[in-house]
Structure 1
Amino acid sequence: MADFSQPDDRRGAEFVDVNLRGARFVRSDLSGAVMRGVDVSGADIDAPWLFDGGNFLRVNGVDVVPFVEAELNRRFPGRAERRAGDPDGLRAAWAALERTWSATLERVAAMPAGTVDISVDGEWSFAQTLRHLVMATDTWLRKAILEVEQPYHPIGQPNVEYGTDGYDLSVFASAAPSYEEVLDARAGRQAMVRAYLATVSQDQLSLARRNPWAPGQPEAVLSCLHTILDEEWEHHRYAIRDLEAIEAESHL
């Protein structure tokens, strides 16, 4: 398979009568791409930023974003509350997330031993996903909102494929921790979010903080909390997707 990777730049390129069957696009910018007379049967698109305000994706002239958003909210009860703008709404949104993850942990516990370490299509395993959520909580709660000088738990899983600006990789464990250690760290970070939301006021939600990835860019506390909620729901969706693939494979 041909490999087109950075620093290749094909902005504005035109592909005519090109066979892209089975091609895989990872961390690629396809925004504004125009496709005409294309066969996309069986295509699988995962675009977590699709639901940011103002974005659209047209298929045969129809913006499908509202339909996708509604379907995801139907599949994952509580997801629709992730944009809550007041303390009570945020507390309810977080409680829904904790219930969702609790049910998923029970599901994983009932699966064969070793399931938590299986990677599907090169994606993070379930254990790695939980480790990344530890890191995400540390980034947006402990570093951004609470302004803790050294916010990161060593068990956290940074996403180095998207760059390492904003954290020192030396603080993270070089060896994979046990699943029990991951569960303990994850539960501790969930409790931190719960405790913060228990006392946060409406005025505090509007306070300015520094974006952890762009320190010169101000970020409201509410925006930081929304990022935490987005991270939680997106990675839960990925986890469920991969668990279903693992279960399907085991039944072949």
Structure 2
Amino acid sequence: MTTYSGTEEFAGARFIKANFTGATFRFSDVSGVRMRAVDVNGLDIDSHDLFFGTLYVNGVDVVPLVEAELNRQFPGRELQNAQTLDGLREGWLAVQSAWETTVAGAPPDAVHAQVDGEWSLAQTLRHLILATDTWLRGAILRVPQPFHEIGQIFTGAEDMGFDMSIFRADPPEFSEIRIVRAERQQMVTDFLATATPELLSQEREAPWAGDDWRPTVGDCIRVILEEEWAHLRYIRRDLALLASATADST
């Protein structure tokens, strides 16, 4: 199988009667791609940022339909965009309850299992530790070095010049991950318990270099909620696939 990585050669290209059966696109820019008279049976699209744009199928923007269905599947998810303090508190309780159920129901042998190169449950919880450190401890509370050493940073961070020496080289035990994760969850709970509407409206610096966005404190909390719901969906998807594979093998 041929792999194209970091290429710009297909930008603006035209594909006529081309065969992409079984092809995989990862970390790629397909914005503005137009498909006409194509066979899309089994086409599988997964985009964390889907709700920021549009996706037309037969002239219909399906993004609102997808969002409504995800909100149905994950009660409380709609509150990730809440603009009030009460809404953010309710949304945080909802996603934490969903995570508690998911982690408690995960088989021990599935904790470190990966599906198609995606993060395992253990790695995902480590990434959510990092997300809390980034947006609460870093952006909101302005802690100079906010990151815990077991945090899992996003793919490509090292290429962007991020100091990876902050993080521990050896993967931690799942028990330690659970402890640190619980500590970070409590930090968000405690912050929301004492926050005020005035505090939510205050501006902060974006946590990543080169980002000129000036988020409010409320925006930072909403990013945490988006991260929590997005990765919960990924993990439930992958745990279901692992369970299905186990059932098929037996």
Per-residue Cα deviation, 1:179-205 (whole angstroms, up to 9, x for no partner): 000000100100001111111111111
Equivalent pair of 1:131/1:156 in contact (CA under 8 Å): yes
Post-superposition shift, 1:166? 7.7
**What is the aligned partner in structure 2 of residue 71 from structure 1?**
69
Give SS of 1:208's match.
coil
Q: Which amino acid aligns with 1:130?
A: L
Structure 1 residues 32 and 25, CA, compared in 2 at 3 Å: closer, same or farther? Answer: same
2-side partners of 1:104 and 1:117: how far apart? 14
Structure 1 residues 77 and 121, CA, compared in 2 at 3 Å: closer, same or farther? Answer: same
**What is the aligned partner in structure 2 of residue 106 from structure 1?**
104
**What is the aligned partner in structure 2 of residue 240 from structure 1?**
236
Equivalent pair of 1:206/1:221 in contact (CA under 8 Å): yes
Residues 158-167 or 91-100, more deviating: 158-167
Please, which of 64, 67, 82 is the counterpart of residue 80 of structure 2?
82
Post-superposition shift, 1:9? 3.8
Q: RMSD across aligned C-alpha pairs, in angstroms?
A: 1.3
1-side partners of 2:97 and 2:61: how far apart? 32
2-side partners of 1:206 and 1:166: how far apart? 31
Equivalent pair of 1:131/1:182 in contact (CA under 8 Å): yes
Matched, 1:138 2:133: yes
1-side partners of 2:89 and 2:59: how far apart? 39
Give SS of 1:219's match.
coil
Equivalent pair of 1:120/1:242 in contact (CA under 8 Å): yes
Give SS of 2:204's match.
strand
Matched, 1:217 2:213: yes
Equivalences, count: 247
**What is the aligned partner in structure 2 of residue 12 from structure 1?**
12
Query: Structure 2 regions of 5+ residues with no counterpart?
Result: none
**What is the aligned partner in structure 2 of residue 175 from structure 1?**
170
Equivalent pair of 1:166/1:212 in contact (CA under 8 Å): no
Matched, 1:33 2:28: no
Residues 17-26 or 210-219, more deviating: 210-219
Matched, 1:150 2:148: no
1-side partners of 2:49 and 2:161: how far apart? 21
Structure 1 residues 148 and 9, CA, compared in 2 at 3 Å: closer, same or farther? Answer: farther
TM-score, structure 2 as length reference: 0.95
Tell me: higher relative CO, structure 1 or 2? Use CA pairs within 8 A at least 6 residues apart.
Answer: 2
Equivalent pair of 2:134/2:147 in contact (CA under 8 Å): yes
Post-superposition shift, 1:50? 1.0
Query: Structure 1 regions of 5+ residues with no counterpart?
Result: none
Per-residue Cα deviation, 1:155-197 (whole angstroms, up to 9, x for no partner): 1000133555484211111000000000001001000011111
Post-superposition shift, 1:114? 2.2
Q: Percent identity?
A: 47
Equivalent pair of 1:143/1:212 in contact (CA under 8 Å): yes
TM-score, structure 1 as length reference: 0.94
**What is the aligned partner in structure 2 of residue 3 from structure 1?**
3
**What is the aligned partner in structure 2 of residue 62 from structure 1?**
60
Give SS of 2:102's match.
helix
2-side partners of 1:166 and 1:87: how far apart? 36
Give SS of 1:185's match.
helix
